[in-house]
Amino acid sequence: MGLLEVKNLRLSYGTVQGIVPAVDGVSFTIEAGETLGIVGESGAGKSSLASALMRTMPRNVVNYTGIIEFEGSNCLELSDEAFRKQIRWQRMSMVFQGAMDSLNPVIKVGKQVAEPLLLKPGIKPKQAYATAQQLLKMVMLSPEVFHRYPHELSGGMKQRVMIAMALIFNPKLILIDEPTSALDVIIQAQIMNLLKRFKREFKLSILFITHDLALASDLCDSIAIMYAGEIIEMGSAEEMLLEPKHPYSQKLLVSIPRLAEDTRPEFIVGAPPDMTALPPGCYFQPRCHCVFERCLHEHPPSFKLPSGRLVKCWLYGDQR
């Protein structure tokens, strides 16, 4: 029994063009202390998945079904208020994308970090602030940052504050959504080192969301690749990075330019699918280099390979 078990999660938005699926029947499990990477390109539904787990979806959600079992309780059965009181931030917290505007500009950093703790009955403000100070120290920020306003900090510092903030309740699971996409490579490496250390020291479970497969390799024990709202392949980091099975995963891996080797990066022809008008059959079929007759008409289910890896591709349809 994993820490977080997601089964057949669906999330759609109601828009002018009609109902647009964002997360389309996603299932995965995160064990305690494990890190799962969700990798996908823009529009693949990664961030919608995160908001579905944290229940921070925009208002125009029309379809929100499935099972999210976290530490034994089904989150979808909890009322908003119960979810907020029992789970959100205390047991499952999140580091948001775009640290630049994720902090309240008119509240001092220290108070923002301590804020959720301050609201807990029985906790003295002094205690809460001390915890916040300590967390800031842990993310390698100087103590004076506590009294600063967000706009006085650099992007890297803000992202550290966001990480400190997510740790205030010492949660079991942290969702981390593109933590470094706006940062420079060196700062990115610093942050990744920090996360790596926390993961090790606190036995944290992490759901790491990124568009960058290389970055995912820095942290993740297993990796799931998303395309058009679905997980099309999922397996251990070793398998996924050394021997991806799905044509999309393969192409994604070789599209990364490498500094050390002389291999030419490759690309996938065509554009990502329009979520309002998905193609028939496999969603990846119009761009796939291995496409055959069946792909055009039938949507592939997840096939479990002997190693335990899941692939949504007809190429593996006969290997049960």
Partner 1 sequence: MKELLVMNHITMDFHVKKQLFSSLIIRAVDDVSLKLEGGESIGIVGESGSGKTTLGRLALRLLKPTGGDLLFRGQDITRASEANLKVFRRQAQGIFQDPFASIDPFMNVHQILEEPLLIHRVGSQDVRRELISQALKEVKLTPVNDFLPRYTHTLSGGQRQRVAVGRALILRPDFILADEPVSMIDASSRAEILYLFKELQEKHGISFLYVTHDIATAGYFCRQMAVMYLGKIVEFGRTSSLIRKPHHPYTQALIRAVPSPDPSNRTHERLVISGESPSPIKPPPGCRFHPRCPNFIVGKCDVKLPQMVAVGEDHSTACYLYP
Partner 2 sequence: MKLPATMKILLSSGTGKTGAGFLMLLIAVSLYVVSVYPMDFGLLFWNNPAVWADNPKNAPPAWTSIFTGQKKVEHTVFAATEPTRVIPGAGMDTLGYTFDLNYKFDEPSTFVSFALHDITYTSRPPIITLLLQRPDGKEMLLYRHVVRGPGPGEDIPISRYMESPHRVYLSGDSTVLSNVAGFLRQEFGQDVSPSDLRGKIDRIIFGIPAEEKGQDFAVLDGNYTIIVMAQVYHPEDSIGEVVFVLGGSVYGAMGTDALGRDLATGLLFGFPVALLIGLVTAVITTIIGTFMGILSGYKGGKTDTIIQRSCDILANVPLLPILIFLIFILGQKLELVILILIIFGWPGLTILVRSMVLQYNSSQLVESTRALGASPWRIMFRHIFFQIAPFILAQMIFFTPAAILAEAGLSFLGLGDPSIPTWGQILESGFSTGAVYAGYWWWVLPPGLLVVLAAMTFVLLTLGMEPVVNPRLRR
Partner 3 sequence: MPLITRLAARGLTLLGVLFVVLVLVVVTLGATGFSDRMLRATASEELRGLRQSLAQTIRDPVELEQVLTLRQQELFRYYQLDRPWYYRLPDMVRRVVTFDLGEARTVRSFDGSSRVADIVLERLSNTIMLVTTASVITTILGLLIGPRLASKVGSRLDRVSCLFLAFSYALPAWWMGIFLILGFSFTLDLFPSGGMFSLIPPEGGIARFLDLLWHAALPVITLVLVSFGSAAYIIRTMVLNTAQESFVSVGRAKGLPNRLVERRYILRVAAAPIVTSVMLGLAGSIGGAILTETVFNWPGMGRLYYEAIMAADESVIVALTFFFTLIYIVARFSLEIFYLLLDPRIRYV
State the residues that interact with partner 3 by CB under 8 A.
54, 56, 84-85, 88-90, 93-94, 96-98, 101-107, 115-116, 119, 149, 151-152, 162, 165
Q: Which residue has the tokens 């998945």?
A: 49
Phi/psi at 91 (5° precision) = -115, -20
Q: How far is CA 270 from CA 117, 228, 273, in A?
A: 48, 14, 9
Residue 259 CA to residue 211 CA, distance in Å, equals 19
Minimum Å gap between C-beta 273 and partner 2 is 23
Chosen from partner 3, partner 1, partner 2, none, partner binding at 15 (C-beta under 5 to 8 Å by type): partner 2
Quick note: the x/- pattern for partner 1 over 26-65, rule CB under 8 A, is ---------x-----xx-----------------------
Among 103, 14, 90, which Cα is nearest to 57's?
14
Among 57, 187, 296, 305, binds partner 1 (CB under 8 A): 187
Under rule CB under 8 A, residue 154 binds partner 1? yes
Minimum Å gap between C-beta 252 and partner 3 is 27
CA dihedral sign of residues 102, 104, 110, 114? negative
Quick note: the x/- pattern for partner 1 over 245-284, rule CB under 8 A, is ------xxx-xxxxxx---xxxxxx-xx------------
Cβ atoms of residues 102 and 147 within 8 Å: no
Minimum Å gap between C-beta 149 and partner 3 is 5
Residue 178 CA to residue 211 CA, distance in Å, equals 7
Minimum Å gap between C-beta 168 and partner 3 is 9
3-state secondary structure of 35: strand
Task: Indicate the helix (H) or strand (E) that contains 205.
Answer: strand 205-210
Minimum Å gap between C-beta 59 and partner 2 is 9
Kindly tell me the number of DSSP H helices and DSSP E strands found in the chain.
10, 12
Q: Which residues sit at the interface with partner 1, rule CB under 8 A? A: 35, 41-42, 154, 156-157, 184-190, 192-193, 196-197, 211-221, 237-238, 241-242, 251-253, 255-260, 264-269, 271-272
